[in-house]
A and B are shown apart, each in its own frame.
Chain A
Amino acid sequence: MITSIIINGILIGLIYALLAIGLTVIFGVMRIINMFHGEAVMLGMYAAFVLFDKFGISPYISVFLTAPIFFVLGSIIYKFLIDPIPAREREITSLIITLGISFIFATSAMYIWSADYRTVTLPFSQDVMVFIKTRIGYPALISSCMSAVMIVGFYLFMSKTYMGRAIRATELDKDTASVMGVNVKWISIATFGIGVVLAAMAGGILSPIFYIYPFVGSNFVIKAFTIVVLGGMGSVTGALVGGIILGVAEALASTFLEYSMKDIMAFILFLGILLFKPSGILGGRTRL
């Protein structure tokens, strides 16, 4: 049973990590806490649902089709609502603005899709494979693997492409990045867009194994925050490690203590890291 528990912990941890990445990127580069992160996940789930329901496109494919739309959405929000705020007020004002947007998104979703619960039921939703005596459902397996691929892909984007490096450079030193020829303003807009895309993609990938309703976003936010802190703010590998540690720790706590203990476990981890290594598990400097 213990191997099964750990394997399952890792699989859910990968999904947790994907949920956190959009948040950590936006916070890392712009020091903005995006309060509508959960709602972006929710919109991603609905996008996946609609494309699956109407056109039969698998969420694992449609996340790539809808990404440009979410990029534009995120960029517009940053360009017109957050960027014009004077820097001195931005840290907290952006909190209110993104909170307001979260209300707007959630209610709009209710008007568009009603408050009904939706699910994406794939043709192979009941199929199971067995791996080291652990039964893993295909949707769970594919979603976790997709998460891993996305995280690795994003890591490569951030380390191997000019744009990715420009984003990191901007995060580390705006002024110096700008004299390298980086249009810092545009990179900030793009980073916000990317953060929203990552949240929406996480939603899409989550849709086959979770349920969807307009207010589902709030379920993910605290989890995502926990991982951002565990892994270190702004760090992609940190989010991955943080997600897996959280997944496994929760699984172990819920097995050997009581199931309801797992959340307390998560917060004890959270506080412990904050107190003893506020820069996150991988710690040190801001790293990728």
Chain B
Amino acid sequence: MLEIKGIDSGYGKIKVLKDITLKIEKGEMVALVGPNGAGKTTLLKTIAGMIVPSKGDILLEETSISGMPPHKTSARGIAYVPEGRRVFSAMSVEENLLMGTYLKKNRPHKTESLRMVYDLFPRLEERKKQTAGTLSGGEQQMLAIGRGLMMRPKLVLLDEPSLGLAPLLINSIYKVLERLNGEGMTTLLVEQNVKKALSLCKRAYVIESGEIVMKGPSEDILCDENVKCTYLGI
């Protein structure tokens, strides 16, 4: 599905990512974990086209999308769900979701897509007229995910969906993710909640200081001493 071949990337002259190589198969759910500032978000932004890599290539279904602007990568089926609360705060919940059907090919499916998201997150339907900025953190996160799903993507890039949420909410969001994966959605999940992420995904990459320091099945990574040390200080 997605293949990243040795990319370097960063902001202006500042290089954040060094020689990243990564592969995701169709229908797979892959976790990307690492400490704050390791370059996780930068990687997602590079895939989504918000940052142009200075070296290397990114292939989506065997075609290069490297250097494509975000509105083109999204047309090709990549949905980036940004971290934190980057919903369109002054727009209503429904307007936010409809932004997910901005692409011409998605517009005809507007009603079904809305139905699907409202079924996944009934809370959003209750508040569809409410201004997004007045939602709680968890609801905003649901909205951001829902908005990404409205795009009917081939590949979802999820950036810290559990950020700042209470455990109960995290659980419910994770259940949704699990269900979507069961339905065949390909996902790259960035998480700081290592345990959670690794329990959900079968495979993971560990990134530190812009480099992939480890990859493999989740269980292996969870057992690794180095990872434990980084995260638990044990």
Contact = CB atoms under 8 A, between A and B. Distances in A.
Asked if A and B bind, the verdict is yes
Interface of A: 159, 162, 165-166, 168-169, 172-173, 175-185, 285-288
B91 A179 contact: no
B205 to A, nearest CB: 21
Contacts of A177: 88, 99
Interface in B74-132: 74-75, 79-80, 82, 86, 88-91, 95, 98-100, 102-103, 107, 131
Contacts of B73: 179
Contact of B86 (A159, A162, A166, A176): A176
15 contacts: A162-B102, A165-B91, A165-B95, A166-B102, A168-B91, A168-B95, A173-B86, A178-B71, A178-B74, A180-B151, A181-B70, A181-B102, A285-B131, A285-B133, A286-B90
B74 A172 contact: no
Given A162-B107, A180-B100, 15 more contacts: A159-B95, A165-B91, A165-B98, A168-B88, A172-B91, A176-B82, A176-B86, A178-B49, A178-B50, A179-B49, A179-B70, A181-B70, A182-B71, A285-B90, A287-B131
Task: Assign chain B's interface to a size class.
Answer: 20 to 34
A180 B88 CA distance: 11
Given A165-B95, A180-B102, A181-B71, A175 B90 contact: no
B7 interface: no
A8 B40 CA distance: 59
A162 B88 CA distance: 14
A173 B50 contact: no
B103 A173 contact: no
Nearest to A171: B90
Nearest to A235: B90
Contacts of B147: 180
Interface in B156-196: none
Contacts of A184: 71
Nearest to B144: A176
Contact of B69 (A165, A166, A178): A178
A178 B91 contact: no
A184 B89 CA distance: 18
A178 B70 contact: yes
Given A178-B71, A183-B71, A169 B88 contact: yes
Contacts of A179: 48-50, 70-71, 73-74, 79-80, 82
Contacts of B100: 180
B42 to A, nearest CB: 13
B103 A181 contact: yes
B90 A168 contact: yes
Contacts of A165: 91, 95, 98-99, 102
B88 A181 contact: no
Contacts of B86: 173, 175-176
Which 6 residue pairs across A and B have the least CB separation, nearest first?
Answer: A178-B70, A181-B74, A181-B103, A179-B80, A183-B71, A172-B88
A175 B69 contact: no
Contacts of A172: 88-91
A166 B102 CA distance: 8
A50 to B, nearest CB: 38
